[in-house]
Amino acid sequence: MTAMLLDDKVVLVSGAGPGLGRAIAIRSALAGADVVLAARNEQRLADVAAEVTAIGRKALPVPADVTDPAGLAGITDAALSTFGRVDALVHNVFARPRQVELLDADADAIRSEFDTGVLAALDLTRRLAPALVEARGAVVVINSMVIRNRLPLFGAYRMVKQSLLALARGLSIELGPLGVRVNSVAPGYIWDGPVKDRFARIADERGVDPQQVYAEVAAETDLRRLPEPDEIADAVVFFASNLARAITGQCLDVTAGQTHH
């Protein structure tokens, strides 16, 4: 479905670990791209890189902490020295949300989430802006359905993701005249490891089958199912490709119809 949409492009994925990060890397490679993989865990990067090379595309794993300026410089330098270009930048790094009332939230913890989820994305985009302008490329920001819903205990995470949405819109305004598109993808529940584990815990606490928990949550979606990592990654590939050449400043919900926007 994604074949050759990114033929001979270079896609840089921050947060290229398991789950969605891996799916974005693999779907980009299947679409014809070489992939720069950035994350903290070297073994996970090596595993994803092996999958990319098995597809027949080049993979460059770069272990780095995106909250460290030296780490961001290392990602940028490695990508440009190896490939000489970056056509698409995908921000997938995020801090796992703490479920706590806003009035009880620790201010330093919230600042840390902003550093990881927002400021690192800004800094990496700033560093790669000249390459993206030269390529007339694209930035894709992974957001969350939390910006649409009213789930309790996600106030701090909602603040971070709303700021990330504002960042993407601001970058679209500034980079658009230079030929660079900036869009966001907002997934819902992603049917993968963490969500499966969470549903299993809920099922165990309630003494029911995990499939019952899945069915109850899926009933809140129009398609009566939860999206899988590849389905969200395909939306990223679309935004990175020339099929989206006239689309910028937008946020696409990939929630199987759990949210409407």
Among the listed residues 10, 256, 16, 30, the one whose alpha carbon sits nearest the alpha carbon of residue 145: 256
Whether 20 is covered by a domain: the verdict is: yes
Helix, strand, coil content of the chain in percent (nearest 5): 50, 15, 35
Count CA atoms within 13 Å of residue 86 on its CB side: 31
Whether 245 is covered by a domain: the verdict is: yes
Tell whether the model's pLDDT for residue 187 goes beyond 70: yes
Task: Read off the pLDDT of residues 82-114 as tens digits, 9 standing for 90 and up.
Answer: 999 999 999 999 777 788 999 999 999 999 999
Whether 5 is covered by a domain: the verdict is: no
Q: Do residues 95 and 114 share a domain?
A: yes
Tell whether the model's pLDDT for residue 2 goes beyond 60: no
Residues marked active site are found at 157
Range(s) of the domain holding residue 209: 191-226
Q: Do residues 198 and 237 share a domain?
A: no
Could you identify the residue written with the tokens 């990175």? 240
Among the listed residues 151, 19, 54, 36, the one whose alpha carbon sits nearest the alpha carbon of residue 97: 151
Q: Do residues 208 and 222 share a domain?
A: yes
Q: Do residues 39 and 84 share a domain?
A: yes
CATH of the domain at 31: 3.40.50.720
Q: Do residues 244 and 212 share a domain?
A: no
pTM recorded for the entire structure:
0.95
Q: Do residues 197 and 183 share a domain?
A: no
Burial class (CB in 10 A: 0-12, 13-18, 19+), 121: buried
pLDDT band (50, 70, 90) for residue 1: low
Whether 1 is covered by a domain: the verdict is: no
Yes or no: say if 84 and 17 are a contact pair by the CB < 8 Å rule.
Answer: no
Q: How many domains does the chain have?
A: 2
